[in-house]
Amino acid sequence: MNSVSAEHLVKTYNKGSVRALDDLSLEVAEGTVLSVLGPNGAGKTTTVRILATLLKPDSGNAHVAGIDVIKHPDKVRELIGLSGQYAAVDETLTGWDNLVMFGRLYHLGRQQSIDRANELLERFSLTDSARRPIKTYSGGMRRRLDLAASLIVKPKVLFLDEPTTGLDPRGRMEMWGVIEELVKGGVTLLLTTQYLEEADQLADEIAVIDHGKVIARGTSDALKSQVGGERLEVTVEAAQIAETTQIIEKVSGNSAHLDSAIRTISAPVSTGSKALMDVLRALDEAQIHPLDIGLKRPSLDDVFMALTGHVAEEKANEPAAKKKRGGKK
């Protein structure tokens, strides 16, 4: 059963001149993790805002746990947790103040709110800084507290909008650990990210979006094989390139590609490790000793490149991507 479904969502800004969402549809099965992957401005945040009842689409439908998001936003709000770039906590208050306040706003009793706040602070390793204002927190701590605030009443569906954007590698690893724990607990999660390895790491299924449309979806493996299967790559001394190329083409039955700068020859193969062994044997007979040899599956970067014709933005220019976030819709 689908916990989240979006059907043909359209959302335009500036009187229709900017199409943020252009007939976007997606589903998340109960208890699974869907990662919505796309560059800045692809429509990720708009999608989350619509599903989390913050924004009404121009047309299309959306359901969360079977409830119509547009017709019954109040009921949906009781079932969801939202955390991310644009949903924040009160920075002048302490972590404890914030969690107790949110507990009260979820209509827990006073003592219950306090207990729950302490429990969540403990769970996210924030107990030591519980009495400090959030503005003194590190980026990673702030995100963990933000996440804790969205878990006050154990939501059925959790929306995380770019949970690790702007974090340093350590903060990101910590956040991934926390999210993996949550997923083990059985929550249905929709997560947006512009980091390909994040989607790979956390998601059961990935929806790649660009210009407000889903352009591909499937498991990480399925997406990779959509781009092409395995490739065999062999790196040799310059003098042996010609002979090696012949061997590879003979074994694989495909034409090989040479990257002369790194003296690496590659070709698509369909027989996996058998091809690898055949090539090794033939190379051995020809007395060629490769510097490196291996089977490569395409990375999600390759997938993204193949699908959109451009690289995911943060790879190309990280500081610029960060700057852009501030001014985005």
d(CA 277, CA 235): 15
Which amino acid belongs to residue 9? L
If one asks whether residue 247 binds another protein (CB under 8 A), the answer comes out as no
Q: Which of 7, 22, 90, 119 binds another protein (CB under 8 A)?
A: 90
* Least CB distance to another protein at residue 10 (A): 16
If one asks whether residue 93 binds another protein (CB under 8 A), the answer comes out as yes
If one asks whether residue 49 binds another protein (CB under 8 A), the answer comes out as yes
DSSP state of 290: -
| Coil, helix or strand at residue 222 | helix
**Residues 29/7, Cβ–Cβ less than 8 Å:** no
Query: SS3 for 155-221, per residue?
Result: CCEEEEECCCCCCCHHHHHHHHHHHHHHHHCCCEEEEEECCHHHHHHHCCEEEEEECCEEEEEECHH
Q: Which is nearer to another protein, 78 or 204 (CB)?
A: 78
If one asks whether residue 14 binds another protein (CB under 8 A), the answer comes out as no
* Least CB distance to another protein at residue 315 (A): 26
Subset of 99-118 contacting another protein (CB under 8 A): 101-102, 104-107
* Stretch of 78-86, 136-144, 173-181, 312-320 contacting another protein, by CB under 8 A: 78-86
Q: Which is nearer to another protein, 155 or 212 (CB)?
A: 155
CA-to-CA dists, residue 45 to 42, 80, 84, 127, 193, angstroms: 8, 16, 9, 31, 10
Helix residue ranges per DSSP H, 52-109:
73-77, 95-105
Q: Which of 35, 47, 53, 244 binds another protein (CB under 8 A)?
A: 53
Give the residues across from 268 on adjacent strands. Answer: 231
* Stretch of 50-58, 185-193, 225-233, 235-243 contacting another protein, by CB under 8 A: 50-58
If one asks whether residue 176 binds another protein (CB under 8 A), the answer comes out as no
Q: Which is nearer to another protein, 26 or 157 (CB)?
A: 157
**What does the binding site for another protein look like in residue numbers (CB under 8 A)?**
49, 52-55, 74, 77-78, 80, 82, 85-94, 97, 101-102, 104-107, 133, 149, 329
